[in-house]
Every structure is written in C-alpha cells, then in structure tokens.
Structure 1
Amino acid sequence: MASSQAELRNGTLADPVDVVVVGAGLSGLVAARCLQQAACSVRLIEAAEQPGGRMRGAWLPLAGGAEGPGLMPWIDLGGQWVGPSQTRMLALLERHRIRRFASPHSGDTVLVFGEQRCRFSGFFQGFPEGQPPAVPEADWADAMAALEQFQALVAQLPEGHPHHHPAAAALDRLSFQDWIDAHTHTPFAAWYFAYFCRAVGFLGPAEPEQVSLLHVLWGQRTAPQGEHPEEWLLHGGAGQLPALLAAELGESVLQLGEPVRGVEQKGPHPVVVRTDRARYPCRAVIVAMPPAMAARLQFTPELPGDRKQLQAEMAMGACAKVLVAYASPWWQEQGLAGIAIGDRPSVELCADSSDPESGCGVLAAFVAGHRYHRWAALAEAERRQAVLADLAAYLGPQARAPLAYREKDWPAEPHVGGAYAGWMPPGLWTSCGDALRRPHGRVFWAGTEVAERWPGFFEGAVRSGEEAAASVLVELC
C-alpha cells in the first residue's frame, strides 16, 4: 500500500513498486499498462496536471453558440491523424472503441507560391499524388528530378536506426540544406523540400539547415508519407485517449503535477526516483520523455557522455498549432479540400479537420520553424491577424471571420518544449545514436523519438512504450 499523502509531502520514502514510469504521454501510458498486464506493480509520475503529453484535446466554444460540448467542435491541440500501416495505434483505438473517419480531402488543394495561387487535384508532401500544381513545367521537373535522387538515397538505408549504415557518416555530416543546394536549381524545387522539412512529424519540425541529411532520409525510410499517415481522423479527437488509458491503470497508479528531479541507482534499493514530494523506490525505471526534457533530470551515477550530448543537442521541433472553427466547412462548397500549402509568411500548411458529425468547419493551421519564432514574438491580436490573413490568401475572404480561434504554442509548454518531435542536427546520429535506446543500468528510455518505426507519430510512441516495457520485463525476470 502506498505511503500517505502527508508522508509523501515530507519527502519520505514511498512503498516500493516494480517499475516507475516517468512521463504520462502516450508512450508512458502504454508502457505502464503493458507492465501492469504482466503483473508488475507500477507507478506513473507526470509533471503536468493532466496526462497525454503532446496528445491533447479540447472542446472549442463557438462565439454566440449554445453551451455544452455536444454543440461545440472537438479539436486536437496536438497530434490528430492515424494511418493504415500504424497497426499498434489502430489496435489501441479499437480496444477503446474510438471511431475514425476519412480525413476530408474531396476537392482541390490550393498552392500559393510567390504571387501565384493555383488549385489542383493532387497533393505533395514527401511524395506527389494526383495532378501536379500549375507551376512552371521546368520548376516541377526540377523538384521531381531531385525527389528521384532523394528517394534513391532513402532506399539505401536499412530498417531501424541508421547510424551503422556504411554511408551514415558522410550523410550525417551534411545538413538537409546542403543536399537541397546541391540537387535543386529553382526556387520552387528548393522550397518543395524545405516545406517537407517543416511539415512532417519526424523532422521536428526543423529548418533544413538545422537538421542532418541522414535524419531526413531515415525518417522518410521509417515513417514514409507514401503510407498515408494522415488517412484518418478520430471522432471525439485523439486527445480523448490519454484519459481512457489512465483510467485503465487505476487511481493509485498515476500521479500528476509532480515533476521528477532525479533518478538514483545506489543504496539499498535498485533505483530511487526523486521528486520534490517523495522518493519512490523501484526495481527499474522507464523515462518516457523526449531527450531534451530528460536532460532536466539528474542521474546518479551520471549518464555517459554520448547520452548527455544527445539530450543537449536533440532539440524539440518549433511549431504552434492553430485551430480555427466556422459554422460550416464552407470551403467544401467551393470545391476545395481545405488543404492548402505555400510560402505564406506564417502558415505553410493548413488542413480540413472537420468532423462530419458536428457540422462545424475546422481548419488546423501550422506555424513552424523560423516562421514560428517570428510569429510567436507578435502580440496576440497580431498573431491571430497573421494566421487569418494567410488562411484567406489560401481559401478566400470567409476565412477571416471564424466563430472560434485557438492557439497551442507547443515550444512554450513547460513540460513538453516543442512539437511534433525531437530532431537530430548534423553529426549527432553517428556520434550519439547508440545512446538513444541503450539503457543506463536499470533506466530504460521510451518516447516516439526512440522508435525505429513511425518516429514522431502516435504509432512510434505506442511501439516505443511496448518495447520499453518488454525490455524491463526481461531485466526483472
């Protein structure tokens, strides 16, 4: 039986459990549940006041609308999509009877590049589908020729983490921008790949001059856009899942609002996890946090140098997500898919996120990379104006008059530090890649960044949580 709350506040030693999991994001929740199903006693400790990490939802009240969540659209402030090859995440959704529906994409995509706006029946993000956009033929040919060379490099990488590949060192020395400069010859083609770098989950997002070419190739190998990871949205939002997972664990397992300060492997207990409130003895620990956040923890004995370097340099993505709601998805009446991409000042990508059961129209807009830093420095009213101006440039003047507007500034989130995921700068994979998964004594690592398949996505988080739990069970047997 756990120590009383009064004892915990005094910083006393709590009753031991088999495993402490640090971080109640999707990966930590999954790991805790797997261990519990294997008859392990588990304690899950989360710094924030709610579980979920980067998986968070809300109901969005509409201006002038009736009260009550049934008349509001749900929104996902964090991740929202799933795809057909993301099998572990799909199994989790089935278990919790969360229904999915096809992402709205009937109609034309909009591209704005320079001073030109075009509609086309297609899409491109890592690979092209359907009709190409109405850019000069030479520009499109330049982008496609470079894409062919890019995909040839991707195909050379093995499955799993990339840093032991014979060509890894040479690829890791280059930034993605180095490769873009060498293989594109038109501004459109250069932007085509830079946009990809800022839009896709495993890339942070980051700017192409910041991220390793090896990291980009590896991400495309293990989380390819060609497998349609944005195929489905979820009725009620992905953000409903953390509470369901937490409820499965039971009230005594999850502790919220309690940042972990350190992990000690010394003394009479194999491991002790330390917070401001108590010390929690256990036989093993899973740290289910992005490496950049794990850098805040003090480890005794100290982490090896490559792990400390990894945590110091594997930065979180710079991205804010903005949800904008309307009485209806009016763009569909104009034959538009609600998907728009382009080199606008703030929003490079927006997507229709409307649940057909709600009747409301919802656009998800993303402000990433250098655009994020410029946008985040603006006053609140200026940020809103900048987003709505870009949406109007893409979809039309009706975009300027939403019924609701909600920003989620992920880099400002104190216990997350960014979205979608952490990314590797040049040289880090080949110098520190082994440290990403290697245990530190009885400390094991989890999180979507650790996954060898679908890193940066829900699927990567689920797989990582399951794999970390399996490794701990081997250690404890």
Structure 2
Amino acid sequence: MGLTIASSLKFCLQVIGASWFVFPTFVFSVAIPESVDVVVVGAGLAGLTAAKDLLAGGKSVLILEARNRVGGKILNRPLKNGGVTEVGAEFVGPTQDKELGLKTFTTYNEGSNILYRSNSRTEYVSDPPLGVPPVDLLALQQVAAAQAQLDAWAGEINVTAPWMHPKAKDWDNITFAQYIALSAFFPDAKFLLDIVSKTLFAAESKEISLFYVIQYIASAGNETTKGSLSRLTSTPGGSQESRVEGGTGLIPQRLAEKVGLNRIAFNAAVACITKTAAGYEIKSKAGTIKAKKIILALSPPLINKIAFSPALPFARQQLNGLTKMGSIGKGIAVYDSPFWRASKLNAQVISDKGTTRATFDNTPVDASYGALMGFILGDQMRAFDAKSEAEIQTAIVSDYVRYFGDKAAKPTEFIVQRWDLEGFSLGAPVAVAPPRVLSIYGPALRKPVGGIHFAGTETADYWVGYMDGAIRSGQRVAKEILALL
C-alpha cells in the first residue's frame, strides 16, 4: 500500500517556486496541473522524444526540467559575430539512424592531422584502415591487435543484455588501464589507447572497466551493423563524421516545439518521488503533481539526487551511486577565418601534453569565420575545475599556438564550457562504470521499478553515450508505457 500524502510530506521537504523559460524570444510560465498520465523528468532528447511519442499515443504528459532550457548536455552558445557554437554534443555518425529533421554537413577533414608527442609536432594524413597516427611500427601493431581483439569481443555482445555474456564478470574485474598494460606495453601504443579512453569517455583508462569499454563498442552500430572501435574514433565513416547546420541545439528545440512548451515546466528540479495508492506524487521546485507513470530521463548519478519512498531496489541504488559522469569541457576559440585550412590542416590533433589534447575544426558550413574546438578531458578537466575562465583560455590558446602557430594567439572570442560544474549534469558525455558494477547491477539499468521507467543515453541498446542513443531510449520507454496504459 502506498504512502498517504500526509506521510509523504514528512518524507520530503516542500519545494515551491515558479517555472520560467526564455525560449528564443518568449517567456513562459507553466501552471502545474493536479495530475497527468505520465510525468517525464528531464527535457533532454530522451525525455522530449518519450513525451512526443506518448502524446501521439493519446496520453497526458508533463515534463519537469531542472534547467531553464531544453537539451540537457546539448547546448548552442551564441557568438558575438552572430553565429553559434556547440558547447555540448555536436557530432553525428553513420548508423545513427534517427531522423533529425535538420540539414547536416560533413565535419571538416581536408588536409593533415597533427600528432603532438614528446614535445614534437608531426603532420600526417590519417591512415583509414588503422585510424592511428605515425608512431613506432611495433606500437601500431599492438594497437591494431588490441583493436581487433576489442572488436571481436564486442561482436559477441548482445546489446540488449551485455551482462549475460559468459565472460562479462571476468572483463568487469579489471580496468581498461590494466588491459592496456597487458596488451600494449610499448609507450606509443599505451598513449594511443589512453587517448581513446579520454576522447570517448572523458575518463582515464584506470577509471573504467574493460567490460564497460567492450559493451560501449558493441553499441556503436545498429540492428544490421556490428559496432567497432574505429566507428567510435574515426571522423570519415565514424561518429564524428557530420555536424548539424545551425548547431545541434536545434534538435531539442524542434522536439520541444512538437511537444508544446505548455507541457514543459522549467526550473522544476525534482526533489522527491513518493508511491501512492493511485500512482505517484512528484515534488519539484515548480510544485507537486500526481501521475500514473514516471519516466526518469536522467543519467544514473542524477537519479541518485532524488529521494524515493519507498526506496529504489538495491541494484538500482548501486547503479546510480557507483557510476560517475565523465569529466569534460570545451574551449572554443573564434577567429576571423579558418586560417589553418590554408596550411592544409584539418585541425584534428591528438597530443600527450597540454590542457586540450584532442581538437576539431568547429567552423560553420559557410566558413564565414573560423573556430577551433578543444576537448578538456579527464584529469585535465578536473585540474581546471577551480580555475578561472581567463586561466583556462590562456592555457588552451597556448596549446593552439603550439599546434597551429602564432595566428592562433589572438582569437576574437573565446568560449569555455565546463560540464563538471553543471549541477544538473555533473559532467558529460555519459555515465561510466568502474569495475564490478555493470556486470552485477547492469540488469537494473532499463528495468522498470513499479511505474517508474528509465531512459537516457546510458540505457540505450545502440549508441550509448550519443544523441541517437538518447532518442532510442525515449522511444523505448514510450512503447513500454503505452503497452501498459
């Protein structure tokens, strides 16, 4: 029997407030209804997609969003020159099949990459079969062997239940760093595989389990195409292949328009979810609402910030508490033009030194200005969490000068985004798992708890950690609920 409203008041702090959102040029205040069929917590791609599909199925829906905007870890930032830059998720790759309803363009890939290693700068044309820079031949052989082994293991994974693989617990008993130490003892090989960990997960290889990496690779495909490490790490033919004209921030904006802004309450962080005889009572900063079903379209670490009565099952609590968000930021330098292109550089760098060790060309499709984007990843991001934006800019521009020359020294504008410091993200791009978590508690990832259903890119079968995975997860939970209501 569920708790009464009176007893739930003792369980939760009363949280009140208004819900306001500036959406392009309008301001909305959403009245919280007494009840709906489904409350969706989180207005990222997963939550918006689920809400859209539920509305199409004739159900009443309200989205509770903690921020004053949609999109979660997808965010367009306006520039002084009138353009926009993406400070969150931005790339789209092959087999990421969901319809965007927007135009895409190919990520700039003309010319040479740059390897900065042991204080030496080398330009090279990427070798598509291996997708790795020119380092010691024996190191390349070790990387190729490790890649082949990881792909072979990933090919054995059932993406809907990876923890069912007979070797799952063995793989989950060691870190990715331990696997690298056994498989790639040449320094250059270790460097390249460590860079894979940083760029894919925004985490150090010692922080994540080998099993987590294998199942992540397995998810980088679709129902007809096996996942592979090269699809995750490559630009042409890989997950960095394309970008969205006008920025990826347009994707959640378009979805929000389809859902209807009158169905999205902003500044509505959820504090408490209580089971009642008729369903659930959800207390948020915007008010209290009742619902038959709930979708938590949040990463596991964020779910851990909500109080539940009764408590979630032990396995789900462990999953929420033991996974952690990657540590990531972006430093984007804007210039009058993409000057590096004249030097036949594509602006893609990997480096063993500096604040940003992986970079891309973030110039818009019309090349009306130039933009260099550098990822701040793992230990480097954490080292700068307490620094000022000016200090970060100085450090990153210094990196860009080392990579691209003196013309990089004076950007017309510089944008910093630190996802670690976003209280409603706690990091990005995805919640990662250390050893002995996913193989044990993974079955709780997508399993509903009563009328509470779980979405978010972490719960996807394909493209975990990507926008496509978030959309897939929203579609899945909407189908689950429509089959029950």
> Does TM, normalized by the shorter one, top 0.5?
yes
1:54 and 2:73 aligned: yes
Within the candidate set 454, 461, 468, 2:470 is matched to: 461
Which residue of structure 2 aligns with residue 210 of structure 1? 207
Which residue of structure 1 aligns with residue 361 of structure 2? 352
Amino acid at match of 1:195: I
Q: Any conservation in 2 of the 1:376–1:383 contact (CA below 8 Å)? A: no
CA distance in 2, matches of 1:21, 1:397: 49
Which residue of structure 2 aligns with residue 134 of structure 1? 134
Q: Deviations over 1:167-205 (max 9, x none)?
A: 0010000100110111112111011111101101xx3x2
Which residue of structure 2 aligns with residue 44 of structure 1? 63
Q: What is the deviation of 1:358?
A: 4.5
Q: Deviations over 1:318-358 (max 9, x none)?
A: 00111111111110000101111111221110001211325
Q: Any conservation in 2 of the 1:161–1:218 contact (CA below 8 Å)? A: no
Q: What is the deviation of 1:220?
A: 1.0
CA distance in 2, matches of 1:112, 1:407: 23
Q: What is the deviation of 1:260?
A: 0.8
CA distance in 1, matches of 2:468, 2:388: 36
RMSD in angstroms over aligned alpha carbons?
A: 1.9
CA distance in 2, matches of 1:303, 1:159: 24
Q: Any conservation in 2 of the 1:72–1:358 contact (CA below 8 Å)? A: no
Which residue of structure 1 aligns with residue 271 of structure 2? 261
Which residue of structure 1 aligns with residue 316 of structure 2? 307
CA distance in 1, matches of 2:123, 2:76: 31
1:234 and 2:244 aligned: yes
- Of residues 219-228 and 98-107 in structure 1, the stretch that sits farther from structure 2 once superposed is 219-228
CA distance in 2, matches of 1:54, 1:199: 16
Pairs within 5 Å for 1:42-441: 42-61=61-80, 71-88=81-98, 91=99, 93-94=100-101, 98-122=102-126, 128-129=130-131, 133-200=133-200, 203=201, 205-223=202-220, 224=228, 225-226=230-231, 228-267=238-277, 269-441=278-450
CA distance in 2, matches of 1:215, 1:75: 31
Q: Deviations over 1:233-285 (max 9, x none)?
A: 11100012222221222232000011111111113x31111114422111101
- Specify every segment of 5 or more residues in structure 1 that has no aligned partner in the other structure, as ranges: 1-7, 62-70
CA distance in 2, matches of 1:319, 1:408: 9
Q: Any conservation in 2 of the 1:146–1:183 contact (CA below 8 Å)? A: yes
- Of residues 390-399 and 402-411 in structure 1, the stretch that sits farther from structure 2 once superposed is 390-399
Q: Equivalent residue of 2:346, what SS? A: strand
Normalised by the length of structure 2, the TM-score is: 0.88
Give aligned-pair identity as a percent. Answer: 28
CA distance in 2, matches of 1:123, 1:37: 47
Q: Any conservation in 1 of the 2:304–2:321 contact (CA below 8 Å)? A: yes
C-alpha spacing 1:138/1:462, structure 2 compared with 1 (3 Å): same
Q: Equivalent residue of 1:411, what SS? A: helix
Q: What is the deviation of 1:469?
A: 0.7
CA distance in 2, matches of 1:123, 1:419: 29
Which residue of structure 2 aligns with residue 65 of structure 1? none
Amino acid at match of 1:141: Q
Q: Any conservation in 2 of the 1:21–1:288 contact (CA below 8 Å)? A: yes
Amino acid at match of 2:270: V
CA distance in 1, matches of 2:35, 2:79: 42
Amino acid at match of 1:27: A
Amino acid at match of 1:148: A
Q: Deviations over 1:382-441 (max 9, x none)?
A: 211111111222222211211110011001001111111101110101221011111010
Amino acid at match of 1:165: H
Q: Any conservation in 2 of the 1:119–1:133 contact (CA below 8 Å)? A: no
Q: Equivalent residue of 1:128, what SS? A: coil
Q: Equivalent residue of 1:427, what SS? A: coil
Amino acid at match of 1:229: S
- Specify every segment of 5 or more residues in structure 2 that has no aligned partner in the other structure, as ranges: 1-15, 19-30, 221-227, 232-236
CA distance in 1, matches of 2:302, 2:382: 20
CA distance in 2, matches of 1:260, 1:159: 31
